[in-house]
Amino acid sequence: CRMVAPHYKKMAEQFKDKAVFAKVDINFNRETASHQMISSMPTFQFYLFGKKRDQFSGADTNRIMSMTQQLVREAETKNIEVTFEALQEFYKEHAPDKAAEMDDKKLQDILTKAGKGGGPGHFQLVKALKKKYDGKAPKTRARAAQAPAGKGDSKAGDAKADAQAGKAKVENNKPNLHLATIEQMEAEIKKRREEEEDKKVEAETDDDDTPQFPIYLPENRTLIRGAEQVVIIGSGPAGLSAAVYAARAGLKPVVAAPAIGGQLQGKGVDVENYPGVNMSTGPNLVYEMQLQAAQFGAVFEQEMVTLLDISKRPFTVQTNDSNIKAHSVIIATGADSRWLGVPGEWEHRGGGVSSCATCDGFLYSDKHVVVVGGGDAAMEDALVLARTSASVKVLHRRDAFRASKVLADRVLSHPKIEVVWDTTVEAFEGKKIRVLPNGLTVELSEDGSVVDENYTKMRVKDIKERLDAAGISYAGVKEKDELVKVLRGAIAEALSPAVADDGGGEPATFEERNALTRVRAKNVKTGKVTEIPASAAFVAIGHDPNTKMVEGQLELDSNKYIVIKPGSSRTSVEGVFASGDVADHVYRQAITSAGTGAMAALDAERWLSEQGYCSPA
């Protein structure tokens, strides 16, 4: 997720040597997504001492920070070791009668049971002894870290290095290329080429590998009468177009928004309706716009705007990190996906119900999915999903699409897409599942008890997929009855009390979640209600403008869009301008957003000149 990637990287640096932050690209590693039951992106998992402690979906940076801090504190508390000598001394001092019974073997058995090398087991041992002996406990020490590989016998290391080097002895202070064999040089060239290819692939798929555009630093800014000339809120086509025009006019704009590029950043098909752009993706188009704005002098405050105060001048734009004063503001905050508001929608978000096919679609490869909507967004979602899903049903409340003819024709002619006309969604329904320690899942009844599934009715393919997802071997097992026994045995073992205990005497907490299984739909002409089996449903019914921060400050229409004066981008407050989808409920295209962004920058430049806020050229 490009929205949370910079925060994730920053937290990794903040908790260096205390927590390991890792990323799994499940475009390339789908086995992990299946094994971990990932059903929405981004998904974050937290582990402590090899056990999963939490998992959630969504770009909630506050929750990531809070959970990380909690686990780091717990790790520091439990990351202790009770030595053999300390345990022996404890019994001698506080339980001499017990010490007489304790030989070296019994003491060692206690430590072995608690866990070799310390950790949570030793913490639980100390806790138990404190309870038994009135707060007295053996002395502890910080858990010993393993010595880095290669720190052993230097002679052995030298011997290994010599063996690998063969005849070519390396001398660091002299060129040694002439000593290398042909085979060694060819191997080195191949290795370097592979490394370069790996870097390219990683750069294309890594959300952290975002371009380092000029960052907003208050100490480096030259203010005009105590404030910035213009701050642009939003980093989609409207905001970036405004940034290009404002920068070329010498206004030195500050673009305040996470570097996520609006709706274009999540566009999973090629951008075909932007003049001059051929066969380019949304993220690439956003990057080119950012680069162009930066080249002309725009700077970027890549944090979410949390407050906009336009009640007094200069205006105040507050982000998570900064408090920026501005003489003028261009609002280009765009619009967010709209939801249906039907029963089961909220409960199954992150469990099969989504508004982003590009983000979550590949999680449902070879599954049956549903798309709700009839505009361009719904068509694009259906086409994206048809690449990987077993089938796609498009539910539309009317008897014709409002989407562009090109996209509608592609959907109607696609062999994997079926359109269900005159149909609305009544509810999203599913089941509650529990994820077991070995990765298998079981269905839960309404009272929370495990449902006794009839595995004999499952297809052999489905049984194998379930075992594969959990990494459970069934080598040599061919008969269905035997496969059912393997599955039953693995589930029974995972549900047993011995496995359910986390090793420290405390019961493990299983992860439970909702999983979509069907969409209840109604034909608006006949009234007939049907249940459509589906593993996922993607809602694409339009957007709501992001105007919450200006409610009560600017004039809005009945649908919460910013009202602008005809023929301009001016709003009801002088010095505040609006562009893009936040003020456009009709066209809502990348190209029209970019056009209104240019208008807003030109309007802002004129207004600043009239007010005497422009810096001398």
- By annotation, the residues acting in catalysis are 356, 359-360
144 DSSP assignment = P
CA distance 6 to 210: 8
Q: Which of 283, 285, 290, 287 is nearest to 244 (CA)?
A: 290
Count the helices and strands in the chain (H runs, E runs): 18, 22
If we measure between CA atoms, which residue out of 245, 287, 244 comes closest to residue 265? 287
Amino acid at residue number 349: R
Quickly tell me which residue has 């300390």 as its tokens.
86
Buried b / exposed e across 434-459, counting CB within 10 Å, b at 16+? bbbbebbbbebeeeeeeeeeebeebe
> Contact, 467 vs 486, CB < 8 A?
yes
Angle between helices 237-248 and 282-295 (to 10 degrees): 20
DSSP 222: -
Positive or negative CA dihedral for 279, 281, 282, 285? negative
Strands (E), 320-374: 323-331, 335-337, 353-354, 368-372
Half-sphere exposure of 268 (CA within 13 A, CB side): 21
DSSP letters of 300-313?
EE-S-EEEEE-SSS
Question: Torsions phi, psi of 219, nearest 5?
Answer: -70, -15
264 close to 283: Cβ distance less than 8 angstroms: yes
SS3 551: strand
- Kindly give the residue spans of alpha helices, DSSP state H, lying in 474-612: 480-495, 497-500, 590-611
Of the candidates 142, 124, 116, 125, the one whose C-alpha atom is nearest the C-alpha of residue 90 is: 125
Task: Say how many residues make up the chain.
Answer: 617
> Based on the number of CB atoms within 10 Å of its own CB, is 536 exposed (0-12), middle (13-18) or buried (19 or more)?
buried
| 67 residue type, one letter | M
- The answer to whether 426 and 524 have CB atoms below 8 angstroms apart is no
Q: Which two tokens stand for residue 590?
A: 């990348």
**What does residue 574 show for φ and ψ, rounded to 5 degrees?**
-60, 135
Cβ-based neighbour number of residue 19 at 10 Å: 17
Q: Are 556 and 547 in contact (CB under 8 A)?
A: yes
At position 99, the amino acid (one-letter code) is A
